[in-house]
């Protein structure tokens, strides 16, 4: 486990309302670089079925108009 992630997890142990899964996700996002966070966000949106092209088609966005 990365040192930054381990340190973030240790700090989040003091937060009472987070379960273990939420602590891990939160610590991962806190320890990530901006580029890593961007990639995690894109992966999450893709897992939900959202992508830039399909979203444009679904909402009838057309760059030619």
Where in the chain are the domains? 3-58
pLDDT at 57: 59
Q: How many CA atoms lie within 13 A of 43 on its CB side?
A: 6
- Using alpha carbons, select from 39, 34, 37, 29 the residue that is nearest to residue 5: 29
So what's the pLDDT on residue 54?
56
Q: Return the pLDDT at 35.
A: 93
**pLDDT per position as a tens digit, 3-22:** 888 888 888 888 888 888 99
pLDDT of residue 41: 87
Tens of pLDDT, residues 18-55: 888 998 888 888 888 999 999 988 888 888 887 766 55
Predicted TM-score of the model (pTM): 0.57
d(CA 11, CA 14): 6
Length of the chain (residues):
65
């Amino acid at each position: 486990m990365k040192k930054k992630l381990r340190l973030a997890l240790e700090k989040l142990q003091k937060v009472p309302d987070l379960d273990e899964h939420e602590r891990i996700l939160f610590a991962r996002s806190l320890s990530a670089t901006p580029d890593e966070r961007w990639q995690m966000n894109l992966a999450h949106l893709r897992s939900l079925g959202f992508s830039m092209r399909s979203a444009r088609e679904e909402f009838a966005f057309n760059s030619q108009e």
